[in-house]
Amino acid sequence: MRYQRTIRHILAGTLICLALVGLSATYWALAGQDSLLLREDNPRIIEAQRDVRRGGIFDKAGRPLAQTVQGDTGLERRYPKASAYSIVGYYSLRFGVGGAESAYDALLSGARPIESLADYFKRKILNRPQIGADIMLTLDVALQESVVSALADAAGTAIVLDARNDTVLALVSQPSFNPNTLDADWSRLVEAEGKPFFNRALQGNYQIGANVYLIWLAQALESGFDLSWRFTDAADPVDLGDGMTAACLVNQAEAELTLGESLAFGCPAAFASYRQIESALAYHDLLLPYAFHDPLTLAGFPQREAIDLAANVDGLSPADLELRNALGQGNLTTTPLHLATIIAAIANDGLAAEPALLSGLRQPASDPRRPRSHASASRRMMRAETAQGLQLVLRDAWSELWAPPQDSPLIGAYIARSYSGDETQLWLNGYVKTDDDDALAFVVLLEDTDDISQILSIGRELIDIFTGEQ
């Protein structure tokens, strides 16, 4: 009898244990599997990612920029266009995703909500591998390659926008990296002085410098100022206090210059004088329409980095501080992309839109790529009359620097200089319009250089490319 009771106890205990094991297995198989999958030490995460057939990335003409192919050891990600590395980014099982691979990761990886019981059974019970969507970007890889060729080995960035809708046609950041050899190169890349993973077009936050002269010119047009007025001593340097001066970017023997000529040659004195005419205008109000405090960005991509432009201003008078700010030598910063949207607004008669890069997608087992609307809420950055006046000013400015052929499309551009710490940056910003009223806006930034001939040479080559592309 005693043995029978013991056997019953053992049997009951065994059944309870089996029930607990069954309940536990059921829980982890159904309700708790997501928490297991999210554990960093779960090897199934890597296995699941390895089995994902990631969608391809294509340019506007359908040329491949990134594809998943079958390799000797499984699926591999290949990047055939070196010119697009800096914007397409990378995908790595070890190091994650960057660039467009990160911004559109949910589409490319096929991550989507469960849509039905059958879908749940296939994905959660049978663990069928995910298949991602192909995406098409607004990039023109032929234009992208030409921009990379023009920049050569220069450190910096170049952006080309369709001025009518602010879609990105080309975006280059240098130095860059090769995503095809990312795993082998990672340690070297993260320590590289040139910061190849840092996208200068999107994350670079540079002092506005002489680009602020363009904003003063817009104000002059808004207020009805006579742009033919010639300012005396306009080629002289401006004393900013504490030994700092602002001087012409292009040396000028002419003592009298208009505001437009001062923009062309990067001379600050005329703008310092014009500021006195607009003495009732607060600097904050001057900048407000251009949204430097809330810059336009590419959704899903890294945002601008914080930058410390603090200078030793002890002992400076309020007047000197105000003058530094007014001439772009204060703490006002901009990203190259945001400045490109301002140039695009000028070319588009004052209207700016949110920049866009994604133009279409194709889900697995579907036919043509479904286009995505580029329509985004346009905002008026300036009156159409002001924008058209700036177009004329920029055309005259470019003619001062380089006389274009008589039969060339409408071209307007200017050069500017800014500073970040001990480094000097040079900018070339402008637009190209054709007879059918298409327009490109572009911004080029070169880091750590004061060589005007270099950026002008790049500018001439790029404009030849743009007019040829048109």
Q: Quick one: pLDDT at residue 45?
A: 47
Please give the structure tokens belonging to residue 23: 């309940």
Intervals of CATH 3.90.1310.10 along the chain:
43-138
Residue 387 has what DSSP assignment?
Answer: H
Please compute Rg for the chain using Cα positions. 29
Rounded Cα–Cα distance for residues 448 and 35 (Å): 49
pLDDT surpasses 60 at 469: no
Q: Quick one: pLDDT at residue 182?
A: 94
Least confident interval from 179-183, 296-300, 413-417, 436-440 = 436-440
Q: Quick one: pLDDT at residue 155?
A: 96
Of the pLDDT bands very low, low, confident and very high (cuts 50, 70, 90), residue 8 is confident
- Contact criterion met (CB below 8 Å) for 231 and 274: yes
Q: Quick one: pLDDT at residue 253?
A: 76
- Contact criterion met (CB below 8 Å) for 89 and 98: yes
pLDDT surpasses 50 at 101: yes
Q: Quick one: pLDDT at residue 372?
A: 61
Q: Which of 419, 361, 392 is nearest to 135 (CA)?
A: 361
Q: Quick one: pLDDT at residue 438?
A: 86
Average of pLDDT values for 84-97? 95
pLDDT surpasses 80 at 169: yes
**In whole angstroms, how far apart are CA 269 and each of 5, 67, 224, 293, 350?**
105, 54, 20, 26, 27
Q: Which of 415, 419, 429, 265 is nearest to 341 (CA)?
A: 429
Of the pLDDT bands very low, low, confident and very high (cuts 50, 70, 90), residue 323 is very high
Q: Quick one: pLDDT at residue 36?
A: 57
**In whole angstroms, how far apart are CA 404 and each of 60, 165, 280, 444?**
30, 26, 39, 19
Average of pLDDT values for 101-120? 80
Residue 356 has what DSSP assignment?
Answer: B
Give the mean pLDDT of the chain: 87
Average of pLDDT values for 177-191? 95
Of the pLDDT bands very low, low, confident and very high (cuts 50, 70, 90), residue 7 is confident
Average of pLDDT values for 142-171? 96
Q: How many CA atoms lie within 13 A of 390 on its CB side?
A: 31
Helix H or strand E segment including 236: none
Of the pLDDT bands very low, low, confident and very high (cuts 50, 70, 90), residue 17 is confident
Average of pLDDT values for 248-271? 93
Of the pLDDT bands very low, low, confident and very high (cuts 50, 70, 90), residue 470 is very low
Q: Quick one: pLDDT at residue 243?
A: 84
Q: What is the 3-state secondary structure (H, E, C) of 195-232?
A: CCCCCCCCCCCEECHHHHHHHHHHHHHHCCCCCCCCEC
pLDDT tens digit string along 22-36? 777 777 666 666 665
Q: What is the CATH number of domain 43-138?
A: 3.90.1310.10
Intervals of CATH 3.40.710.10 along the chain:
142-177+191-357+378-469
**In whole angstroms, how far apart are CA 432 and each of 151, 347, 420, 449?**
19, 8, 29, 25
In CATH terms, 142-177+191-357+378-469 corresponds, of 3.40.630.30, 3.40.710.10, 3.30.1330.10, 3.10.310.50, to 3.40.710.10
Q: Quick one: pLDDT at residue 431?
A: 96
Rounded Cα–Cα distance for residues 103 and 76 (Å): 20
pLDDT tens digit string along 37-85? 555 555 454 555 666 789 999 999 999 999 998 877 778 899 999 999 9
Q: Quick one: pLDDT at residue 147?
A: 97
Q: Quick one: pLDDT at residue 80?
A: 97
